[in-house]
Structure 1
């Protein structure tokens, strides 16, 4: 039996060496292996366990055997947890640090109880050298914690096996070699441990350290044949959950069957209760608004807006069909792309293009574009339209005497006074420099002149107040109503400009009507 034990020790040591070199391989390729750290620690734990067991078999006394058993339990309980973590890393499943720490609680307790077993006998009730054995082999009477430790170790291996088997159908053929390797690495230790506990192993010895030689050899073969570790499949769930865009999966009846984590940022009210409802039922609950496309979402690519507690959201929503391998339509995938910031920047650029940066009212470009539309609508409806043009009197004197900063404040002051007085439908713009324009829909000759007079009076009555000065501001006005069907915005602006200069020639702070309207 002594020579047979030596053969067994040799096989066990070989297994330890293989695990040791697998750890070195993981360390050397740590930049190209996605889960190198976990694989390295896993093989280190196995190597400690295996070499500890080899030294246990070569020990001559019970005390020496006990010391090496403590060494074994530095690696063995942790290796089961690390095996499960390795499976999770391979499948792309994230495990939080708190969860990892929780998973190691039982292995840490196990190590402590093994090291202090002579005090409490919770792990082994008794451990003794077998009388009939020609070499020192031990038998044990298991304690309460041994059962807890064994169940937990078996549970970790079984959990990893179940997860891998469930993924097998969804694993592409090119990745099945390494997938099968992981499955075998869970099955072989489980079977060996089961045979050991049933008393069906030679001389009643633990076969797990020796059979780990087989799993290590399989790892090496898989690394060489399929570049296992360096080329790892990315799980579809990981892709789904890591997408920055929100995703909603609908079945053929437009019921919501799944969604990803990013959707919660766009629709904070989404929850597991949303699953099973149709999109048209759930959307009002999620956004407070009805889904605008009631009958179908096929081929949709639209911008939708809704409000959340964090602010308004704008999303580009695209739909694409989910097709089975046989070509049948299974449902629809909705992709929600957050373009809120993009729309905000577009609005800012549009404002820069069409709004005056100082006063915030439309600029000349916006007035010409919108004024033409307003005039065309008025003429098509047979309604009047008028243009009022006015210029701040002696504006250069304000700049020269008080400075350009005060001049800017004067322009803002004029804007605020006019906006307060003008009706909602009027188009008010800074036309250029100290010149302003007003488009007045539905304003006949007399009404347009009346509005111009109101503006003139208000400006005269409200001086600009600075810290030390009260600066009187007046303006000269020209009014040009549309008189014939051939009038254009440009012709009205020319007429209003001519009337404006009449006001300046007549002493300023006045309203003048274009000559053609007086006749």
Structure 2
């Protein structure tokens, strides 16, 4: 009785259609697939194999069967290698182009030997029609290269399965469905091919095309439901773990569900045992802060600056809380990203300090003095209070530089600033005016008080020697000029000019003294 192969051919054809659909889907969606080229070739080669096998089953003569057998090997020879390369990309295992090309040498030889088998019989020693089947079906006597091809094919399938199994415990649960799908796609054809080789299939028929109908359906389901291969998850995990920014993933209820290595470095107390707990409940134990202060934003992101101490070192982080949305636009969780800005903030503080303070002495610079002194002068005029300016510079400063060197000269300036700073109140504006010249602005002090303060500074300077390792104790003195004003129309420039004239008079009068400007100069 003639065996009706129509249901089997229909099933195989369905498998081919599914593979072709998968191939075309990937081709037209290639921008969404990181390895679209490999995936297109893989599915296309499988489709060639499946359809050729269907035509082989429908053949009536041995010549037809042989002809379609050659076409089958376009898929049979190359598919395992392309599949292995695809798995390598999936797990982010990079190989050189030369190695990848070398992997196709044996498949190319296999196809060439199958196509020319009649002239050498290296692949099949014989191909003949079976007498025990009710419909024309071929059987083979294997040749030497068939063994090489079989071993290589199994090696590729087995290597792919092993690579995927090794990733199982490294892969997060979210991606294990994808991994399982790939494992089925790799192992089921391998089992089918093994059963075929040992003669355990009905009528010695190749079961792999039938199995591919199952794996094709699995792949289509996985692509549509889990976005299989649209984002390479193992590679994504590697990127996630190698990010310099700390990333903490929260579910919709604020529970901790994942974090990367950078986050664990920033927050050493983070442990896998804390997964599933609400971040707001464990934040204080993790960082010492009562709350990270970021609430789910009205927009998709809020930014805040956080700082905490770890190992005795204060670190500053820019914390960004972003909403994570599902494909339908619904909120499915939050992403807390921590960017270490400690160094950046330190540099910003240095720049800010340089904008306000003198780099050598640490007191206000000339620019800041002028800005703040003008503000004080305006306030004094409104309240009808006096403003005084004390201008002084180090006596014989050039001699310090010439005799002892510029390093000692810098020490003299630092010494003068430190001594005077101890004598001044915090609300007295004190700055380095330029070179060896210093200035003090006194808001609300009567002229007599300004004179006393200047004298106190002069005495403090001359009475505190500068001890140097190379030159012993050095006496530092300064000459002072004082100017005061009760006039609301008086300008800072006028006061400075008058104080400078008084300073010049103090130097001309013998140095290490205080002179006041009162329309005429008065020495104290």
Question: Quick one: structure 1 residues 334 and 476, their matched pair in 2 at CA, closer, same or farther if it must change by over 3 Å?
Answer: same
Q: Is the 8 A contact 1:389 1:493 kept in 2?
A: yes
1:95-110 equivalences in 2 (<5 Å): none
Q: Is the 8 A contact 2:318 2:341 kept in 1?
A: yes
**Secondary structure of the corresponding residue to residue 269 of structure 2:** coil
TM-score scaled by length of structure 2: 0.59
Shift of 1:385: 5.7
Give the distance between the partners of 1:381 and 1:323, measured in 2 at CA. Answer: 60
* Corresponding residue of 1:497: 500
Question: Quick one: structure 1 residues 23 and 314, their matched pair in 2 at CA, closer, same or farther if it must change by over 3 Å?
Answer: same
1:39-188 equivalences in 2 (<5 Å): 80-85=158-163, 163-164=177-178, 183-188=184-189
* Corresponding residue of 2:316: 314
1:236-385 equivalences in 2 (<5 Å): 236-291=236-291, 293=293, 296-299=296-299, 300-309=302-311, 311-373=313-375
Give the distance between the partners of 2:303 and 2:201, measured in 1 at CA. Answer: 66
Among 393, 396, 401, the residue aligned to 1:394: 396
Give the distance between the partners of 2:286 and 2:95, measured in 1 at CA. Answer: 42
Q: Is the 8 A contact 2:245 2:263 kept in 1?
A: yes
Shift of 1:460: 0.7
**Secondary structure of the corresponding residue to residue 261 of structure 2:** coil
Give the distance between the partners of 2:82 and 2:180, measured in 1 at CA. Answer: 31
Give the distance between the partners of 2:463 and 2:397, measured in 1 at CA. Answer: 17
Q: Is the 8 A contact 2:78 2:104 kept in 1?
A: yes
* Corresponding residue of 1:175: none
Among 438, 450, 453, the residue aligned to 1:451: 453
Shift of 1:19: 5.0
**Secondary structure of the corresponding residue to residue 241 of structure 2:** helix
Deviations 1:42-96 (A, max 9, x none): 969998xx9xxx99x99xxxxxxxxx99x9999968963543316878x9x979x
Question: Quick one: structure 1 residues 17 and 278, their matched pair in 2 at CA, closer, same or farther if it must change by over 3 Å?
Answer: closer
Q: Is the 8 A contact 2:84 2:159 kept in 1?
A: no
* Corresponding residue of 2:430: 428
* Corresponding residue of 2:408: 406
Q: Is the 8 A contact 1:280 1:294 kept in 2?
A: no
Give the distance between the partners of 1:191 and 1:310, measured in 2 at CA. Answer: 62
Shift of 1:484: 4.9
Question: Quick one: structure 1 residues 470 and 371, their matched pair in 2 at CA, closer, same or farther if it must change by over 3 Å?
Answer: same
Shift of 1:333: 2.6
Q: Is the 8 A contact 1:45 1:79 kept in 2?
A: no
Question: Quick one: structure 1 residues 232 and 324, their matched pair in 2 at CA, closer, same or farther if it must change by over 3 Å?
Answer: closer
Q: Is the 8 A contact 1:16 1:213 kept in 2?
A: no
Root-mean-square deviation (CA, aligned residues, Å) is: 5.6
Give the distance between the partners of 1:382 and 1:283, measured in 2 at CA. Answer: 54
1:515 matched to 2:518? The reply is: yes
Q: Is the 8 A contact 2:84 2:160 kept in 1?
A: no
Question: Quick one: structure 1 residues 382 and 341, their matched pair in 2 at CA, closer, same or farther if it must change by over 3 Å?
Answer: farther
TM-score scaled by length of structure 1: 0.59
Q: Is the 8 A contact 1:20 1:43 kept in 2?
A: no
Among 232, 235, 250, the residue aligned to 1:234: 232
Deviations 1:332-391 (A, max 9, x none): 333322222222222333334433333333321222234445556677788776433211
Give the distance between the partners of 1:512 and 1:436, measured in 2 at CA. Answer: 15
**Secondary structure of the corresponding residue to residue 509 of structure 1:** coil
Q: Is the 8 A contact 1:249 1:331 kept in 2?
A: yes
Shift of 1:189: 1.8
Give the distance between the partners of 1:194 and 1:183, measured in 2 at CA. Answer: 16
Question: Quick one: structure 1 residues 214 and 284, their matched pair in 2 at CA, closer, same or farther if it must change by over 3 Å?
Answer: closer
Question: Quick one: structure 1 residues 77 and 324, their matched pair in 2 at CA, closer, same or farther if it must change by over 3 Å?
Answer: closer
Deviations 1:476-505 (A, max 9, x none): 123345635555544443443344334334
Q: Is the 8 A contact 1:16 1:46 kept in 2?
A: no
1:477 matched to 2:475? The reply is: no
Q: Which runs of 5+ in 1 are unaligned?
A: 59-67, 96-158, 168-178, 219-230
Give the distance between the partners of 1:285 and 1:489, measured in 2 at CA. Answer: 55
